């Protein structure tokens, strides 16, 4: 979604802001802009890419303070005028904003009645005029910003500069992330650490309601009542190299290929071969508390939710605790019953997905115990949870989630092992799962070696108008994630169904023009799955089977055979060929693989 970058220090701000905006491109945007302070505010903004903005910024735009933005249109179409920053009428104040101001229409009408002329259709412009109106009477830009924010209903991450105070930037957060970057006699701020890591790895995350004043020599943070807050900087272990394509054609292929390493990182230091348990110190729960839960409820959005379905299955199988997953975006709106003996688990790669964050906050308000399975260290969801596990998968840049999905499923296997071993999972089964987990990185390498075959299959099936994905029990979330990957990056319509449900309706869709990707592991449901394949073939449907053995050509046109692990862990491996299938279908169809249309990497709005 929208991105923010801010700089104050001794260097030329322009190149730093442009480089930061380029790092944020992966989040999805339609226009970009910068403003630099140097004897007045110098602004350029364009509809289009950051490269177009860089070409439009004149060399004479020099200055050591500035803010920049990539916009994802909400109020008003993508255009040069609607792009951020937005200036006050006297061009003294400049604002960039992520989020949505819900009472913008009402505020705009009041300001217009007072004679303010608006240039854009955005909700953000309201803020620049509101700040400009009080900045004359207040002692500081910080106070003017705080007063303006008091009138706002909605979510925001903002950065503000004042032409008459050329040494400071004010940033604030409510529901939309802002991270400060601490440099040597320079300060940065951004909506995402990816924009900062080239310059510093010392960061501070703002909490909702907090505001910060940045000057070259440091920063101060304040709560909404103007009380100064104390913040401990965090060191991020991601560096700029993580944000390069590393020689791959797309970030997506790089991230799929990294999975042997990223899975190894998720497992590192967490498996105990003596007692066949998982060490998960970050859960902050002793054995007695861990035993006290009678249910597990998992929440997340999109692919995170599908990995949660794999997680629920693992917890039921290994720990024998009833578990289910639900989209966080639904959970938060249905006034959920929060029970003291339920363990809640929130999943998020970014740690900033607004729906998931809001669901966690609702749970906390009602006294729920919430663990987070999160990739981004120090992110809002991680901070909000009572404990949890970090994935350590490194930054995921491509909009479509792959390595975070896989590492989340692995993290659930660790959690299920942990919950199981404090209950009834035997040492022998614990050992079996530990050994299975250790085999995963090598087995993922074997699957990645199938890429030429999968590429050929992707070319064969990519021109289908629609595809069906089916799986039973453990295979069903794999099918759902496979369909999600295909539709989001190739725009080919795909539906996922439990294989058992086909004959209750969707079988009517099956015919030569609608191929089926069938997830067929070698488990107790193998025969049932093979029967389903027969039913599809009998209706003239083509079948691409993903499983542990090749099928009779009467049942499947094509087979992708993946290595077998322990039955409970097989879904983790079965998902990987589907990532490659979607990737190569998207490339064959010449899609914008890393930045699919209409999507953003982290959805920080409702
Ligand atoms: C994944 O391919 C999607 N782009 C999307 O469904 C994503 O998983 C979802 O928005 C949740 O994001 P999060 O993990 O950062 O919370």
Can you tell me which atom of ligand 1 is nearest the CA of 399?
A: 4
Count of other CB atoms within 10 angstroms of residue 118: 15
pLDDT in tens, 525-546: 999 999 999 999 999 999 999 9
Strands 202-205 and 187-190: unpaired
DSSP state of 497: E
Atom of ligand 1 nearest to the CA of 350: 15
| Residues 447-468 pLDDT 10s | 999 999 999 999 999 999 999 9
pLDDT in tens, 371-392: 999 999 888 899 999 999 999 9
Tell me what the mean pLDDT of segment 456-484 comes to.
97
Q: Is 115 helix (H, G, I), strand (E, B) or coil?
A: coil
Q: Which of 601, 572, 552 is nearest to 444 (CA)?
A: 572
Q: How far is the CA of 402 from the centre of ligand 1 (A)?
A: 10
Token representation of residue 408: 């989340």
Bridge partners for 234 per DSSP:
203
pLDDT of residue 155: 87
Cα–Cα distance for residue pair 322/177, rounded to 1 Å:
34
pLDDT of amino acid 322: 98
Work out the average pLDDT over 198-202: 93
Confidence of residue 606 (pLDDT cuts 50, 70, 90): confident
Q: What is the pLDDT of residue 175?
A: 83
Three-state DSSP class for residue 298: strand
At 237, the pLDDT band (50, 70, 90 cuts) reads confident
Quick: pLDDT tens for 66-96: 999 999 887 788 899 999 999 999 999 999 9
What does pLDDT average to over the chain? Answer: 94
At what angle are helices 570-588 and 475-490 packed, to 10 degrees? 20
Give bridge partners of residue 519 from the DSSP assignment. Answer: 471, 546
Q: Is the pLDDT of residue 9 over 90?
A: yes
- Which residue has the least CA distance to atom 8 on ligand 1? 303
Q: Give how far the C-alpha of residue 414 lies from the chain's centroid of Cα atoms, to the nearest Å.
A: 21
Q: Which residues sit opposite 69 in a β-bridge?
A: 4, 33
Q: Give catalytic residue positions.
A: 2, 601
Question: Per-residue pLDDT tens for 260-277?
Answer: 999 999 999 999 989 999
pLDDT at 1: 66
Nearest to 69 by CA among 199, 197, 189, 236: 189
Q: What is the pLDDT of residue 260?
A: 98
How far is Cα 387 from Cα 279, in angstroms, rounded to an integer? 13
User: Is 52's pLDDT higher than 80?
Assistant: yes
Please give the C-alpha separations between residue 159 and each of 189, 315, 322, 381, in angstroms, as whole numbers.
Answer: 8, 43, 46, 22
Q: What is the Å distance from ligand 1's center to 371 Cα? A: 18
**pLDDT over 90, % of the chain:** 84
pLDDT > 70: percent of the chain: 100
CA distance 498 to 267: 30
Residues with CB under 6 A from ligand 1: 301-304, 348-350, 353, 356, 399-401, 488, 599, 602-603
Nearest to 357 by CA among 98, 103, 155, 70: 155
């Amino acid at each position: 979604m929208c991105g923010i970058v801010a700089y104050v220090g001794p260097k030329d701000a322009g190149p730093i802001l442009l480089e930061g905006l380029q790092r944020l491109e992966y989040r999805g945007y339609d226009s970009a802009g910068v403003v630099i302070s140097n004897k007045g505010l110098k602004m350029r903004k364009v509809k289009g890419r950051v490269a177009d903005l860089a070409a439009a910024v004149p060399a004479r735009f020099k200055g050591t303070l500035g803010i920049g933005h990539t916009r994802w249109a909400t109020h008003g179409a993508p255009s040069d005028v609607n792009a951020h920053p937005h200036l006050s009428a006297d061009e003294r104040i400049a604002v960039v904003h992520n989020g949505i101001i819900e009472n913008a229409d009402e505020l705009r009408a009041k300001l217009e009645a007072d004679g303010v002329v608006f240039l854009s259709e955005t909700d953000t412009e309201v803020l620049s005029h509101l700040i400009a109106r009080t900045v004359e009477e207040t002692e500081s830009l910080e106070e003017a910003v705080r007063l303006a924010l008091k009138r706002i209903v909605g979510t925001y991450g903002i950065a503000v500069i004042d032409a008459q105070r050329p040494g400071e930037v004010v940033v604030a957060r409510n529901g939309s992330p802002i991270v400060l970057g601490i440099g040597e006699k320079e300060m940065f701020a951004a909506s995402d650490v990816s924009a900062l890591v080239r310059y510093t790895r010392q960061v501070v995350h703002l909490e909702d309601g907090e505001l910060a004043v940045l000057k070259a020599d440091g920063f101060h943070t304040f709560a909404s009542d103007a009380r100064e807050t104390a913040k401990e900087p965090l060191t991020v272990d991601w560096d700029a190299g993580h944000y390069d394509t590393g020689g791959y054609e797309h970030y997506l292929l790089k991230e799929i290929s990294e999975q042997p390493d990223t899975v190894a990182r998720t497992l590192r230091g967490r498996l105990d071969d003596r007692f066949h348990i998982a060490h998960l110190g970050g859960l902050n729960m002793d054995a007695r508390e861990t035993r006290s839960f009678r249910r597990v409820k998992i929440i997340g959005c999109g692919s995170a939710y599908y990995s949660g379905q794999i997680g629920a299955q693992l917890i039921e199988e290994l720990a024998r605790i009833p578990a289910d997953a639900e989209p966080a975006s639904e959970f938060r709106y249905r006034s959920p019953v929060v029970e003291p003996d339920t363990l809640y688990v929130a999943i998020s790669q970014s740690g900033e997905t607004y729906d998931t964050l809001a669901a966690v906050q609702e749970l906390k308000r009602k006294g729920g115990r919430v663990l987070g399975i999160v990739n981004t260290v120090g992110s809002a969801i991680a901070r909000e949870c009572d404990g949890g596990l970090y994935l350590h998968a490194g930054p995921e840049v491509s909009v479509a989630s792959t390595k975070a999905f896989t590492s989340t499923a692995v993290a659930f296997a660790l959690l299920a092992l942990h919950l199981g071993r404090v209950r009834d999972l035997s040492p022998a089964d614990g050992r079996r799962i530990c050994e299975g987990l250790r085999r995963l990185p090598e087995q993922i390498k074997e699957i990645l070696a199938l890429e030429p075959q999968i590429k050929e299959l992707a070319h064969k099936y990519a021109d289908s108008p629609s595809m069906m994905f089916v799986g039973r029990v453990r295979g069903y979330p794999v099918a759902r994630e496979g369909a999600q990957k295909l539709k989001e990056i190739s725009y080919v319509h795909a539906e996922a169904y439990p294989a058992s449900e086909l004959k209750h309706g969707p079988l009517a869709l099956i015919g030569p023009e609608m191929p089926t990707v069938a997830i067929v592991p070698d488990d107790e449901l193998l025969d049932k799955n093979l029967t389903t394949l027969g039913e599809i073939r009998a209706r003239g449907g083509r079948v691409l089977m993903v499983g542990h053995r090749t099928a009779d050509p009467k049942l499947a046109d094509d087979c992708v055979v993946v290595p077998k692990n322990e039955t409970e862990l097989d879904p983790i491996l079965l998902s990987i060929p589907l990532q490659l299938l979607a990737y190569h279908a998207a490339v064959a169809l010449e899609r914008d693989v890393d930045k699919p249309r209409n999507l953003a990497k982290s959805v920080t709005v409702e």
